[in-house]
Chains A and B, each alone.
Chain A
C-alpha cells in the first residue's frame, strides 16, 4: 500500500523532483493511476489551495505545486482507464466584457483544474451573450466571472441577467471574483458565490458539484 501522504507532502513542499519520483515509483508498483491522481495529486492540491486561502502558501509556491502536478498528470493520462480521471465538473471561466485583466482568472483556472475539474477558459473581454452560448456548448455547471475594475463590475450583473434571460440560470452556479468584488456585490447581482482567492474559489466550485 502506497503512502499517498508522501505525494501530498511533496506537493505542499513544492518539491517537483520528489513528487515526480514518487509518482513514477507508484506506477512501477502498479498502484492504480486513478488512485495516484485522486488520493495523491488532487488531494495534495486541495491542501495547497487551503494553505493559500489561509495565507500559509503564496502564489509562486502554488504555481510550482501546480506545475509539478501538471507534469505528473501528463505521465498518468495514458494509464487511466475508460472513464477514470474524468473531470468532476464542467466549468466556464472568463473576464467580463470591457475588462482585459487575466492574472487572477488564470490562477482560479489553474486551481480548479488542479482540483480535477474541466475548465474552459474563454479569455478576457467576454460579452454576456458569449457566456450564454458557451454554457450551452460546453454544458457547463459552473460559470466563473472575473472583473478587476469598478468600471466593469456592472458587466457582471449584465452577464448574470443574460444567463437568467436565456433560461439557463437553473443549470449553472455563478461565481464572481476580482479585486473590487465583494460578497455584498455578489448577493446584489444574484450570483451564487464570491471567492476572495483562487484556493477558496476551487473549494467553492467543488462544493457546488
Chain B
C-alpha cells in the first residue's frame, strides 16, 4: 500500500507558523483532521521555522495533535534533543524525519536511533552535496541501509529519500532518480522509497501537472510513499489510480471506492 506522509504541519508554512505562534489549537486540529480524512497515513510535524522556539513549539504541537491523531506521526527535526522529547510524547510508533550521510547529521542521529522502535526517513545526501548520478544515489542508499541495519533498524522500517532534483536544470534528472529507485528496490525489495516530489518541477510553470505525472512514474519504479499535501485532491487521485495500475489494488477496490466518494473524478 502506498503511504502518504502529510506535509502540512510545518512552521515554514505561513498560516501554520501564525497558528503556532498564537497557540491556535483549533487551526492545527482542523488541519490534521482534514489530512487524515483525505487519506494521510502519517502526519509530519515540523516545528523548526521559528528559530529558537523549536522545542516548545514541537511540544505544543504534539500536545495538540496527539489526542486526535488516528495515524502515526512523522517527527521532523534535525535536533536529537527535540526528537528525544517528541519520541517520548507520541503513542503510536513514529517515523523519524530524517537521517542523512552528512557527517554532523549522521553522527547526531545514530545514537538517537539506536535501539529505538521507529521508522526512519534516510536522505541520500552526504557532505559532497546532492547526488550526481543514479549510481551515486544507489551507493548512498546502500550505506544508509547497512548502517541503520547495524543499529537494529530493520530494512522494512527504512524510507529512502533519493532526493528528487529539478528537471528544469538538466533534462536527465527524471531518469536519474527513476533508475536509482529501480536499482535500490532491486537490491533491497523490503526498503521503502519516499520523498518530496515538487522539486522535480522547480523552475517550470504548471508544476502540479509535472508533480502528478512524475509520482505515477516513480510509483512504477518502486516509490511506495511520498511527502505531499494530502489536501491536493488531484495528486491523491493520481496516486490511487497509479496504485491500481501497478497491481496494488485487488479488484480495483480502492479505485472504485475513490470514485464513489468523489475523490477520483475525470
Query: Which A residues have a C-beta under 8 Å from some C-beta of B?
Result: 55, 58-60, 63, 98, 100-103, 106-107, 124-125, 150-151, 153-154, 180
Q: Is the CB of B166 within 8 A of A150?
A: no
| B169 within 8 Å of A (CB atoms) | yes
Q: Which of B49, B166, B203 has the most CB of A within 10 A?
A: B203
Pick 7 A–B contacts, CB within 8 A, sort by A: A58-B205, A102-B129, A102-B130, A150-B12, A154-B51, A180-B12, A180-B49
> How many angstroms from the CA of A150 to the CA of B11 in the assembled complex?
10
Query: Which B residues have a C-beta under 8 Å from some C-beta of A?
Result: 12, 48-49, 51, 78, 102, 104, 125, 127-130, 165-166, 168-169, 171, 202-205
Residue of B nearest to A157 (CB): B51
> How many angstroms from the CA of A55 to the CA of B203 in the assembled complex?
9
Contact of B125 (CB < 8 Å), options: A100, A102, A103: A100
With A100-B125, A107-B169 already in contact, 9 other A-B pairs whose C-beta atoms are closer than 8 Å: A58-B203, A59-B168, A59-B203, A98-B104, A101-B129, A102-B129, A125-B127, A150-B51, A180-B49
**Residues in A whose Cβ lies below 8 Å from that of B205:** 55, 58
> How many angstroms from the CA of A153 to the CA of B130 in the assembled complex?
19
**Residues in B whose Cβ lies below 8 Å from that of A151:** 48, 78
A103/B165 contact (C-beta < 8 A), A58-B205, A154-B51 known: yes
CB distance from A157 to the nearest CB of B (A): 9
Contact of A58 (CB < 8 Å), options: B104, B125, B168, B171: B168
CB distance from A21 to the nearest CB of B (A): 25
**Residues in A whose Cβ lies below 8 Å from that of B130:** 100-103
**Residues in B whose Cβ lies below 8 Å from that of A107:** 169, 203
**Residues in B whose Cβ lies below 8 Å from that of A153:** 51
CB distance from B18 to the nearest CB of A (A): 13
Residue of A nearest to B165 (CB): A103
A59/B51 contact (C-beta < 8 A), A100-B129, A101-B130, A150-B12 known: no
Residue of A nearest to B199 (CB): A103
